[in-house]
Structure 1
Amino acid sequence: MAFHKLFSRLTINTSPSIVTRSIHVSPSLLISKPNLVKPKPGLGISYRRIVHYPEEYTVKPLEVTNLAGRDPVSGRIVAKGIGGGIKHKFHWIKWFRDGPTEGPPQEEKVIEVLECGCRTAHVALVAVGKEMKYILATENMKAGDIIKTSRHLPRIPVRANEGDAYVLGALPTGTLVHSIEKVPGKGGVYVNAAGTYGTILRRQDDRIIVQMPSKMLFSFDERCMAVVGRLSNIEHGSTPIGSAQRNRWLGNRPRSGLWKRKDGRHGRKIKPPKPVKEIHAKADQRSPPIQMTMHH
């Protein structure tokens, strides 16, 4: 139909000197599909859900709109592996742990440790003064614990407990840490998944070398904040999903069926072994010695 409209507008203008052809194309035929950029890992673009954040921080669970893998503007499917899932409320984590730069550390009390359906690690509700906030819970954190936060950089390393937040330069070598800041004062960025931790290896001048869960070594400023301990929900990575229905509850859509893992259903090819390669010692290729005599 489009080609019929296109060539029906073909006109030929004849003149004594030259013959020209002009094609008039409707503007509607030039409209192309929008260029949708698929998300790349690590850029923070999510096609799973939209969280409706209020103007000010609150501990009230936030409302969520599930996207099911669709672009929020065009509505087109971008991530085919997302779909379904149980509806969850979102707990707003306060990534910035701030404390005094001098004097004793600030003490905070853990009120409750609960599960969050929108992340892998558990969440702890913490109160300090009249303020309440959510943080990531550590391995052994429980209600009633007292955790400390300080930005003071002492000459002697401090003896920190699980859940305490200090600058990297204040912690001794070998300490397990998580929620590490990339830039001082910008909030925890690295090591936030369930059961993960980084290890402080050594100091180089004013830099702290930390081994990440991927075994890579990162160098941080000594004034970057980090939380001591291993993150909660350690069994998350080793727990099997168990059933296809539970996989749909988690929001994972089944594959198309075009790809299938080689599971050995039809056996394997039995190839004849290669012939044995014989290795022999090299023959002595030296020439016989020449004997010289005095006889003519």
Structure 2
Amino acid sequence: MNSIRVLFSNLSLGKQLLSTRNQLPIVSFERSYKYQKHDIPTPKPGGGKQYRRLVHYPEGKKYTVKPLDVTHLAGRDPVTGRVAAKGIGGGVKHKFHWVKYDRDCPNDVSTQEERVIDVMFDGHRSADVALVGTGDKLRYIIATENMRPGDIIKTSRTIPRNPVRASEGDAYPLGALPAGTKVHCIEQTPGFPYHKIRAAGTLGTILRKFDKYVVVQDTRKHELAFHETCMATVGRVSNVGHQDVKLGSHQKNRELGNRPRSGLWQRKGGRFGRKIKPQPPMRIVSGMPPKPKEVLILTMDPHPEPVPIYGNAF
């Protein structure tokens, strides 16, 4: 090391640099990165947002029975393009059928009748969809187990004094149906398009009624209490054997839009024992969320006006 220093000092350029080493400006070189830094946050899945597909709805979101175009996102955020959900990609492209979950009828009609035109397969959901119409209006609904083209289904929002003997595919409020009726597509909140029990082969059973609520037991044996004015469709959801279908090959799973996964993690089944846990208690799901309680803040500040003291003062 010293010999290199002596050789460098004997050079004319080295002597000049050594003499002016205290006069040279300090230059800092930034490290060059292969990828540029960015402040775009990584999107997190959840909150009702999906990263599997993007449906192109018409302008103004006016309802139509025309199949809509779909863009596959492959688990990426449509705004930033970053991966948000892993294990998604590929898949067969299908047109999207806009299903109208809310079974409603005009206010001037007590009972509305519709004819089932066709029952078809939909690649974006596990259950089949049915095209129904009345007059010049058409819409898609979730098909029931035994629904066939040509059937007549009824829709009503009135709750009579005596329970209604409804047929499969009819839609009535829960308060109008007797106990033991099989239902699906139940409104979570009256008048809002949020429905429960709509997957293939699922159903709910009306157990009992109390006050203004109706208790429904779902497929997982959970008891849920809905308001009696919540609409529900009678019957079981179509495509009952959906859970029993075997893929048979890896390519079939790729056609469904799932990427290959590692075999290191395995779901624990019941072969080696399973913890038996009691069912959760009944939960009331209908109605708007309660208002937050007013918080009372206590301080040690003196009162602006003197407080009179009654009685003997010590």
* TM range, smaller chain: 0.7 to 0.9
Query: Equivalent of 2:211, from 205, 208, 212?
Result: 205
Which of 44, 49, 54 is matched with 2:53 structurally?
49
Whether the 8 Å contact between 1:110 and 1:142 is mirrored in structure 2 is yes
Distance of 2:53 and 2:92 partners within structure 1: 12
Q: How many residues align?
A: 239
**Partner amino acid, structure 1, of 2:55:** V
Per-residue Cα deviation, 1:232-266 (whole angstroms, up to 9, x for no partner): 0000011111111110000010014554679xxxx
- Counterparts of 2:108 and 2:221, CA distance in 1: 34
Report Cα offsets for 1:162-204 as digits up to 9, x if no partner: 0000000000001111110011111351011000011111001
Aligned to 1:118: 124
- In structure 2, the residue corresponding to 1:237 is in which secondary structure? helix
Give the aligned CA root-mean-square deviation in angstroms. 2.5
- Partner-residue secondary structure (3-state), 2:244: coil
1:178 equivalent to 2:197? Answer no
The alignment-based identity, stated in percent, is 58
2:157 and 2:267 map into 1 onto residues whose CA distance is 51
Q: CA offset at residue 123 of structure 1? A: 0.2
2:72 is the counterpart of 1:66: yes
Unaligned runs of 5+ in 2: 1-25, 31-35, 269-314
- If the length of structure 2 is used for normalisation, what is the TM-score? 0.71
- Paired residue for 1:157? 163
Correspondence 1:166 to 2:172: yes
The equivalences for 1:1-296 within 5 A come to 8-9=27-28, 33-40=39-46, 43-54=47-58, 55=60, 56-99=62-105, 104-259=110-265
Amino acid at match of 1:49: R
- Displacement of 1:38 after TM fit? 1.9
> 1:261 & 1:140 partners in 2: Cα distance?
34
| Distance across 2 between alignment mates of 1:261 and 1:222 | 39
CA offset digits 1:252-291 (Å, max 9, x no partner) = 10014554679xxxxxxxxxxxxxxxxxxxxxxxxxxxxx
Distance in 2 separating the partners of 1:97 and 1:103: 14
Task: Give me the whole-angstrom Cα distance separating, in 2, the residues matched to 1:169 and 1:120.
Answer: 29
The one-letter code of the counterpart of 1:48 is: R
Give the whole-Å Cα distance in 2 for the aligned partners of 1:254 and 1:143.
39
Gap change, CA 1:235 and 1:33, over 3 Å in 2: same
For structure 1, list consecutive stretches of 5 or more residues without a partner in the other structure: 1-6, 11-23, 25-29, 263-296
**What is the DSSP-based 3-state SS (H/G/I as helix, E as strand, rest coil) of the residue aligned with 1:202?**
strand
- State the shift of 1:31 in Å: 5.6
Distance 2:63 2:109 in 1: 28
- Kindly indicate whether the alpha-carbon contact (under 8 Å) linking 1:83 and 1:253 is maintained by their aligned counterparts in 2: yes
| Rounded Cα–Cα distance in structure 2 between residues aligned with 1:203 and 1:66 | 44
Equivalent position amino acid for 2:173 in 1:
V
Aligned CA distance change for structure 1 residues 163 and 124 (closer, same or farther; 3 Å): same
The separation in 2 between residues aligned to 1:261 and 1:166, in whole angstroms, is: 40
